[in-house]
Structure 1
Amino acid sequence: MESSSDFFLILSIILFISSLVHGSIGFGFPMLATPLLAMVTDMKTAILYIAIPTLLINLISIFSEGEFLKALKRFFPLAIIGMIGSAIGTQILIYSNSEIFKLLLAISIFLYLFIQKFKIEMLWIQKRKTFSMIVFGLVAGIIGGLTNVMASILIIYSLESKHTKKEIIQSTNLCFLFGKIIQIILFSIHGSFNQELLFTSFSSLVVVIIAMFLGLKIKNIIPQKIYRKVIKVVLFIIACFLVIQTIF
C-alpha cells in the first residue's frame, strides 16, 4: 500500500467524487467509493475506511429529503431486516476476508446496471409485499455487509414497489444507515478499528461534508438523465477492473 500521505490523498479524492455524486442523485456513495478504494486495498480495509463517512452521508441524505420520522416509520421494518442481513454479511467478511468479495462487488454493480437497462419486472413483489420485503431486505443486507453495496438489490425492490424518487432515496439510505451501524458495532467488537484508521476516517469527514454540500447544490442544475448515464459508464468500467483484478 502507498505511504500514509499518499493513501490519504487517494482516499480524499475518492470520497470527494463519491460524495458529490451521492449528493447530486441521492445515492451512489458506497457503490462508487467501495470499488474505487478496493482497487488499491482489500475489500475489508476499503469498507472500514469508508464506514464512518458512509454513516454521515446517509444521515445527510435522509434529512435533506425531509419528513424523517415519516420515512423512518414507513421503512423501519425493511431497515431492520437489512440490518440483520448486514450483520450476517459482516461476520462472514470479518472471518473470511477474501479477494473473491471484489468479484461479488463487481457482480452487484453489473446487476444494478442490468436492472436499469432492461427495466425488469417482478410482479410478485407487489402481490406478496411482506415476503418480498423480507427477502430483498435480507439479501440486500448480506451483500451490503460483504461488499458495502446494497443499492442493486434495494433498487429492484423500490422500483417494483412503485416508490417515488424521494421514497427510493429515503428507503435506501435508511437501510444503508441501519446496516452501517451494526457493521461498525461488529467491527469495533472484533477490534478492526485502530487509532490510525479512525483518525483518517474522521479527518476525511471534512471532504465528505464539502462534497455533499456541493452535490446537493447542483442536484437540480445538471440534467439527471445525462448525469446518470455518465455514472453508469464509470460504474461499468470500475466493475470490469475489479473482475480483472480478481482473476489476474
Structure 2
Amino acid sequence: MFDSITLVAIGAAFLLAGIVKGVIGLGLPIVSVALLTVVVGLPNAMALMLIPGLLANVWQGSIGGHGTRVVKRIWPFLMMATVSVWLGALGLSRVDLPLLSAFLGIVLIVYAVVNMAGLGFSISRSQDRWAGPLFGLVNGIVTGLTGTSAIPGVIYFQAIGLQRDAMIQAMGILFSLSIAALAVALGGNGLLNTELGLLSVAALVPSISGMMLGQRIRKSLSETRFRHVFFTALLLLGLYIILSAAPWSG
C-alpha cells in the first residue's frame, strides 16, 4: 500500500509524536494524525494512530490514583463522548476528504490558540448536568471526523475545575475510550484493514522510542518553552493542512 519513502515518513511522524508525548505528557494522537494526514490522508492517518494512541493513553489513564473519582465526576461526558464517535465516523464516507482535512486543520488551530492564550471558563455542578453530555457529544463527533479527542474535551476538563494530575488521568481515560470507539467505527465503515492494522502495531517502535527520548529531553529543557514551540508548530501545521485542502491547492 505504501512505498518505502512513505513508510519512513510514517515512522518519523510517530517518533516525533512520541517525543512530544514524552516531554509534555500528551499529544501523541493529535500530533501523529496531523502529520500523517499530510502524508497518507486523514482516514489512513486515523487508522495508523490506533494502536500507539490506545496503549499510550491506557497507561496514562490507569496511573495517578484519581481514576475512580474522575470517572464518577465525568461519566456522563465520557459515555456520550464514546458512543457519539460512530456519528462522526459516518462522515468519513459521506463528506469530501478535503473538507474533513480542513476541519482537522481548524481543530488543530483552535487547540493551539486555546492553550497558548490560556482561554477558559467555568462550569458549575448544576450546569454540568447538561454541559457534560453536550460537550461529550461534540467531542465524540469531532473524534469520529478527525481522529483527535482533545477538543473540546480538554476545555471541558478545565472548565469543571479538574486539577492538573486528575486532568491528565482524565485525558488518558477519554483518549483511550475514544480511540477504542474509533477503531470499532473505522472497522464498521470499511476503513480499517489488515495492512493498516499491522503498520499501526509496528508504529509502537518509533512511538515508544520517541517517548523515551522525550522523557530525556524533559530533564534538560523547560517544559514551558517546549509547550510554546509545540503549540506554535501545531498552529502552523493546522494552517498548512487547511491551505493544502483548499480548492486552489490541487
Letter in 2 for 1:60: W
Structure 1 segment 78-227 matched on structure 2, within 5 A: 78-96=77-95, 98-124=97-123, 127-219=126-218, 221-227=220-226
How many residues were matched structurally?
Answer: 247
Residues 66 and 166, structure 2, Cα contact 8 Å, conserved in 1: no
SS state at 1:99 partner: helix
1:31-50 superposed Cα distances (whole Å, 9 cap, x missing partner) = 21111111122211111111
Task: For residue 137 of structure 1, report the CA deviation from its aligned partner.
Answer: 1.3
What letter is aligned with 1:177?
S
2: CA distance, partners of 1:214 / 1:122: 35
TM-score by length of 1: 0.89
Q: Distance in 2 between matches of 1:124 and 1:72?
A: 17
Q: Deviations over 1:20-70 (max 9, x none)?
A: 211321211122111111112221111111112211121122235355445
Q: Letter of the aligned partner of 2:37 in structure 1?
A: A
* Matches of 2:219 and 2:137, distance apart in 1: 33
Query: Which deviations, in whole Å up to 9, do the C-alpha atoms of 1:137-183 show, x marking residues without a partner?
Result: 11111111111122131221122222112122111221111111111
Is contact 1:22-1:212 (8 Å) kept? yes
SS at structure 2 position matched to 1:151: coil
Q: After TM superposition, give the deviation of residue 109 of structure 1 in Å.
A: 1.5
**TM score, norm. by length of structure 2:** 0.89
Asked if residue 12 in structure 1 is aligned to residue 16 in structure 2, the reply is no
Q: 1:75 to 1:20 in 2, by over 3 A?
A: farther
Q: What's the counterpart of residue 57 of structure 1?
A: 56
SS state at 1:120 partner: coil
Unaligned runs of 5+ in 2: none
Q: Which residue of 1 aligns with 2:38?
A: 39
Tell me if the contact between 2:61 and 2:171 (Cα under 8 Å) persists in the aligned partners.
no
Alpha carbons 1:89, 1:143 under 8 Å: kept:
yes
Deviations 1:169-202 (A, max 9, x none): 1112211111111111122233332222122111
Aligned 8 A contact 2:14 2:206 in 1 = yes
Q: 2 CA distance for matches of 1:246 and 1:129? A: 36
Q: What is the identity, as a one-letter code, of the residue corresponding to 2:104?
A: L
Give the alignment's Cα RMSD to 1 decimal.
2.2
C-alpha distance in structure 2 between counterparts of 1:157 and 1:164, whole Å? 12
- Further displaced range: 93-102 or 81-90: 93-102
Identity of aligned residues (%): 23
Find the aligned partners of 2:117 and 2:212 in 1 and give their Cα distance: 33
What letter is aligned with 2:184?
I
1:229 equivalent in structure 2: 228
On the 8 A contact 1:17/1:211 being kept in 2, the answer is yes
Q: 1:80 to 1:129 in 2, by over 3 A?
A: same
Query: Do the aligned residues in 1 keep the contact of 2:29 with 2:147 (CA within 8 Å)?
Result: yes
Distance 1:66-1:26 versus aligned 2 partners, 3 A rule:
farther
The answer for unaligned runs of 5 or more in structure 1 is none
Which stretch of structure 1 is more off in the superposition, 56-65 or 163-172?
56-65
Residue 152 of structure 1 aligns to a residue in which SS?
coil
In structure 2, distance between residues paired with 1:180 and 1:139: 15
- Aligned residue for 1:149, secondary structure, equals coil
| 1:117-156 Cα distance to aligned partner (Å, 9 max, x none) | 4333434455501211111111111111111122131221
Following TM superposition, by how much is the alpha carbon of 1:110 offset from its aligned partner in structure 2, in angstroms? 1.5
**Letter matched to residue 62 of structure 1:** G
Distance (Å, rounded) in 1 between the aligned partners of 2:201 and 2:147: 19
Q: 1 CA distance for matches of 2:219 and 2:73?
A: 26
